[in-house]
Chains A and B, each alone.
Chain A
Amino acid sequence: MKRESQYLVARRGVLQAGAGLLFAAALPPLPAWSVSPDHYRIAAAPARARLAGPDRPETDVWTYNGTVPGTLVRLRQGEPTRLLVENRLDQETTVHWHGIRLPNAMDGVPGLTQPPIRPGESFVYEFTPQDAGTFWYHPHANSLEQLGRGLAGALIVEEREPMAVDRDLLWFLADWRLTEEGGIAPRFGNRMEAAMSGRVGNTVTLNGRASEAEYFRTGERVRLRLVNASLARIMALRFEGHSPVTVAIDGQPCDPHEPAGGRLLLGPAMRIDVVLDMQGEPGKRYAVIDDFYDGLAYRLTELAYEERPPLRTHPLDASLDLPRNPLPEPDLATADRHGLTLQGGMMSAMMMRGGVMQGAGMMHGMMGMGGGAAWAINGMSMTGDGHAGMEPALTFQRGRSVVLKLRNETAWWHPMHFHGHSLRVLSRNGKPVPHRQWQDTVLVAPKEVVEAAFVADNPGDWMLHCHVMDHQMAGLMTVLRVD
């Protein structure tokens, strides 16, 4: 099936002679728009997509190269790449290569790192990915609407030595707010929502469509790359009858481990790579449930087993360890320590002080922050998507180790994304975080305190913001400078 093969990242026929026959489809050809594996052309343009199912109307979407999700960008670790982005929208855009440690000028933040790409114009992004893993790309201009209308795609940087699995699969998950007629509900940036959990939608797609089932064969081992490309929806995934093993988070390999309670907590913009040994019975189906929101659990898809004899009788005993990426290890003994306090939102003193929440003028003129600010970091609200002249909240000397203490004073969850670096997550509420977890998007629970460390080795002004897009737009954003 063509649809499936597109999200088959790679198949490793080396494991067993039979493995190569698993699916009749050949490896996907390179996307039409890619000139070569290291040279992509990506056009941001309107298109139509059937998101909600075959019996539902098509939806007008904005896409990268005409598909939802956009063209799968596959790069090789340590090899230079060139990505030409063409803007065929009627508004400015940029592309942020989420999680890639790259030069500041390639980071895609309008005003701060590059001029926005105007309609009809293009921009060439050039960088050499240092880290292998699962990443993604999306706009950083009018982000709430552009991402909410579909502009997003996966970016996979291949390891030099592939992992021993039968299939390497991508589940690119996105959340849409669709109207009865099948359109994308307008009215982005509802102020009440911006101060609560953001624009959570009503339709979740897996690789661009609502999924009834995904097909597997008993005995196979798959690497499943989960990407949460939602504007605001946090997911907690359970695989009935299966025990996924987390092998990488946000593209960075960790010690392989089963997640607490068998539940994969995946905030907006996060990625988790799991290895699944498919030990279900041929012909049977197992639900994949997202039960993050109380009382609103739903079935994301089903693991459907083909009626075929098992590929092998015992699970593979190949290693689940991925090779480490070349991340500099922070020196905690000498690190500079800084605090970033997340403030605001509904049920906070900031929102209710002085009656700012009352009447039609609510959230305006709060603390002199200009229209629409509902959130702040250390008392400062930067709103929007990024612009020139944003003063850094903190400045780090290049090469220094830094420990950031993220203190969430709010009553809401925040996936905090730091550009240009990966953060070693040290502790949550004082409790050490196991499994050597590095993340570029750290999900912080209400009232939680997270400590994370990194080496400030990438010079430039870097965004740090919440990836619930409404929260970013409404002030949960700041800039950190590496001199």
Chain B
Amino acid sequence: MNRTIRFVSLTAFIALAGPAVAEPLQATLYKNPQCGCCEGYAAYLRDNGFNVEVKPTNDLAEISREAGVPEGMQGCHTTFIDGYVIDGHVPVNVVRKLLTERPPIAGITLPGMPMGSPGMSGTKTEKFVIYTVPKDGKAPSVYAEE
């Protein structure tokens, strides 16, 4: 590769990556200090252009509860992006849908830690059902299915 081509491809790279570099979405991910799969989810978000700050905490249940996630529908980590709570291993296209549509809810959750979901090991064996986290004490409803 000669010097010129190299320069051109570098420029192209910067140009393409430009919007993401200029405005990466900030995500704050609270996780149990001993849970390994949450790091996997943080890496997944980073690979998809988010700036992720991982904060270990022993207060995860309270953080999740205060964000409005009903007990029994909690994921194993809680992420905050652009004013929304995203609980558990939610696929990034559903996160993007939420951030684009901006519905009047607190956020979304994928309860538990389904096999094959982003950051989790294993093969997907069934549909991921992502629920809304309502703001006003209403019952959660299905937000997306993957």
| Residues of chain A having any CB pair with chain B under 8 Å | 177, 185, 187, 190-193, 196-197, 199-202, 233, 293-296, 346-347, 351-352, 355-362, 411-413
How far apart are B71's CB and chain A's nearest CB, in angstroms? 6
What is the CA–CA distance of A411 and B62 in the complex, to the nearest angstrom? 22
Would you call B81 an interface residue if the criterion is a C-beta within 8 Å of the partner chain's C-beta atoms?
A: no
CB distance A347 to B37 under 8 Å?
yes
What is the CA–CA distance of A357 and B88 in the complex, to the nearest angstrom? 12
Contacts of B59 in A (CB 8 A): 177, 202
Q: Mark B70-83, 1 if CB is under 8 A from A, else 0.
A: 11111010000000
Q: In chain A, what residue has the closest Cβ to B65?
A: A187
Which B44-84 residues sit within 8 Å CB-CB of chain A? Answer: 55-62, 64-65, 70-74, 76
What is the CA–CA distance of A413 and B32 in the complex, to the nearest angstrom? 13
CB distance B57 to A296 under 8 Å?
yes
CB distance B57 to A358 under 8 Å?
no
How far apart are A191's CB and chain B's nearest CB, in angstroms? 6
Supposing A197-B32, A295-B33 touch, asked if A192 and B76 sit within 8 A by C-beta, the answer is: yes
Contacts of B114 in A (CB 8 A): 352, 355, 357-358
Interface of A is mostly: loop
Q: In chain B, what residue has the closest Cβ to A295?
A: B56
Contacts of A360 in B (CB 8 A): 70, 72-73, 111
| Residues of chain B having any CB pair with chain A under 8 Å | 32-37, 55-62, 64-65, 70-74, 76, 111-115, 122, 125-126, 129
CB distance A358 to B58 under 8 Å?
no
What is the CA–CA distance of A163 and B105 in the complex, to the nearest angstrom? 64
Contacts of B57 in A (CB 8 A): 296
Identify the 3 closest CB pairs spanning chains A and B, nearest first. A357-B112, A200-B58, A293-B33
Contacts of B111 in A (CB 8 A): 357-360, 362
What is the CA–CA distance of A233 and B59 in the complex, to the nearest angstrom? 12
How far apart are B70's CB and chain A's nearest CB, in angstroms? 8
What is the CA–CA distance of A196 and B112 in the complex, to the nearest angstrom? 11
How far apart are A228's CB and chain B's nearest CB, in angstroms? 15
Q: In chain B, what residue has the closest Cβ to A360?
A: B72
How far apart are A186's CB and chain B's nearest CB, in angstroms? 11
CB distance A192 to B74 under 8 Å?
yes
CB distance B129 to A358 under 8 Å?
yes
Option from B33, B60, B65, B72 in Cβ contact (under 8 Å) with A294: B33
What is the CA–CA distance of A191 and B70 in the complex, to the nearest angstrom? 11
CB distance A296 to B62 under 8 Å?
no
